[in-house]
Amino acid sequence: MSAADVISAKGDASRQSTEPQNTPALREPDRREAKTGPAPLDPADAAPAKPAGLRGLIRQHPVAAIIGAVLIAAAIVGGIVWWLQARNYESSDDAFIDTRSVLISPQVSGAITGVDVTDNQIVKAGDLLATIDPRDYKAAVDQAAAQILQAQASITDIEAQIGAQQAQVQQANQQVEEAEAAYNFSIEENHRYQELVQKGAGTVQRAQQAESDFRAKKAALDAANAAKLAASRQIDVLRAKAEQAKAQLQGAQAQKEQADANLQRAQLRAPTDGRIAKLTGAVGALASPGQAIMVLVPLDIWVTANFKETQLELMRVGQPVDIHIDAFGKTYPGHVNSIQAGSGTAFSLLPAENATGNYVKVVQRVPVKITFDQRPDVELGPGMSVVPRVTVRQ
């Protein structure tokens, strides 16, 4: 081996020891590839794939297609069935329980001495609710009773006077009759003696005596008639006093009735069956007429439903109604009782004025009164929300 071969072998051994064992040898790129570049793609491969058609999708997913078709058919059938059923009913969520609540207010004034009920208590007609101090009204009753007794006593006294005066009238009548008889006799005597004097058969003295007796009898008759007239007029005066006393008696009796009524009104009683609400009266408070101290909610309730005017075409009185109570989730049967003759806004405090240039037509709502066929088994109060459904087609 020559010296050049030995040096070449050592150099190869040193390069093998410095390079990693597993590193592959890098290939020098071909100059022809660098010049020419990558091979061009096929136009068919470069174009995007066309989406598959509906039939292709159905063939690819037959189960999903069947399920979709069934769902679409079910939706169509369900919509038709729902429309056929819904057209038979009219409903409104603008409805509430209604009643005519009674404001319990005293008719007389005074301090409240007792409150016999509590909030939400059920009461019967005639039950005692509250009491107002009755002492002043008892005194008024006693005073009116005393006035009645006084008037009755006055009437009795006047009637007794009338009886006595009637006796005097009878006596005066007798005196008049006696005076008339004496007067008539004196007329005859005077006439006879005057004739005798003229004939010369009698004395002038006797004739003058007869004439004087005639005049005395006439004066006695006039006095008897005057006494009779005075006695009769006194009876008229007494009868007028009796009528006045009777009027006073009637006035006293009226005052007694008023006092009795006020005494009864001092006790506030329930006018009907119901429940107590909004109790504000308390013992010691001063109550005045017209000042409400509690509210009585009657048990007689109904539903006031505000339907759109376009829903009233087929609605009639007596049609059945399903009344759903929101608070309890229950439904009760009822029927249409009446339909108001006009929209709700027509009877408002300030009705809408449409005689203007700018008018927007709004569908009006008409209140409909719906009553329960039977009293519900739950406690319902005014203002509670309900949803009535009226069957307008059977």
Report strand pairing: 386-391 vs 320-325.
Answer: antiparallel
The better pLDDT of the pair 65, 242 is held by 242
Residues 6+ positions from 270 with CB-CB distance below 8 Å: 104, 123, 124, 125, 126, 127, 129, 296
Contact 214, 192 (CB under 8 A): no
Contact 387, 86 (CB under 8 A): no
Tokens of 363: 């569908």
Compute the average pLDDT of residues 94-113: 95
Q: Quick one: pLDDT band at residue 349, thresholds 50, 70, 90? A: confident
As a whole number of angstroms, the distance between CA 53 and CA 58 comes to: 9
As a whole number of angstroms, the distance between CA 269 and CA 131 comes to: 9
Per-residue pLDDT of 350-359, as tens digits, reads: 776 666 667 7
Q: Which pLDDT score is estimated for 79?
A: 82
With H, G, I as helix, E, B as strand and everything else as coil, classify residue 182. helix
Per-residue pLDDT of 180-231, as tens digits, reads: 787 777 777 766 766 666 666 666 666 677 677 777 877 887 888 888 888 8
Per-residue pLDDT of 326-348, as tens digits, reads: 999 999 999 999 999 988 888 87
Residues 6+ positions from 148 with CB-CB distance below 8 Å: 249, 252, 253, 256
Q: Which pLDDT score is estimated for 77?
A: 81
Mean pLDDT of the chain: 82
Contact 140, 252 (CB under 8 A): no
Q: Which pLDDT score is estimated for 201?
A: 61
Res. 113: pLDDT tops 60: yes
Percent of the chain with pLDDT over 90: 49
The better pLDDT of the pair 300, 18 is held by 300
The better pLDDT of the pair 42, 103 is held by 103
Domains of the chain: 89-100+295-391 (2.40.30.170), 103-132+267-294 (2.40.50.100), 135-265 (1.10.287)
Q: Which pLDDT score is estimated for 382?
A: 93
CA dihedral 114, 119, 122, 126 (to 10 degrees): 30
Res. 158: pLDDT tops 60: yes
Residue type at 58 in one-letter notation = I
Full-model pTM: 0.61
Residue type at 181 in one-letter notation = A
User: How does DSSP classify residue 328?
Assistant: T
How long a stretch of residues is the chain?
394
Please give the backbone phi and psi of residue 232, each rounded to the nearest 5 degrees, phi first. Answer: -65, -45
Report strand pairing: 267-269 vs 95-98.
Answer: unpaired
With residue 90 as reference, give the H or E element that holds it. strand 89-91
Highest mean pLDDT among 49-63, 286-300, 349-363: 286-300
Q: Which pLDDT score is estimated for 44?
A: 46
As a whole number of angstroms, the distance between CA 340 and CA 308 comes to: 12
- Which parts of the chain fold into alpha helices (H)? 3-18, 31-36, 43-46, 54-60, 62-86, 135-199, 204-265
Q: How many CA atoms lie within 13 A of 285 on its CB side?
A: 15
Report strand pairing: 320-325 vs 286-287.
Answer: unpaired
Compute the average pLDDT of residues 319-326: 95
Q: Quick one: pLDDT band at residue 23, thresholds 50, 70, 90? A: very low
The better pLDDT of the pair 94, 174 is held by 94
Torsion sign across C-alpha atoms 26, 32, 34, 37: negative
As a whole number of angstroms, the distance between CA 4 and CA 11 comes to: 11
CA 101 to chain centre: 5
Q: Which pLDDT score is estimated for 204?
A: 62
Contact 369, 337 (CB under 8 A): yes
As a whole number of angstroms, the distance between CA 343 and CA 366 comes to: 4
Highest mean pLDDT among 40-49, 146-155, 228-237: 146-155
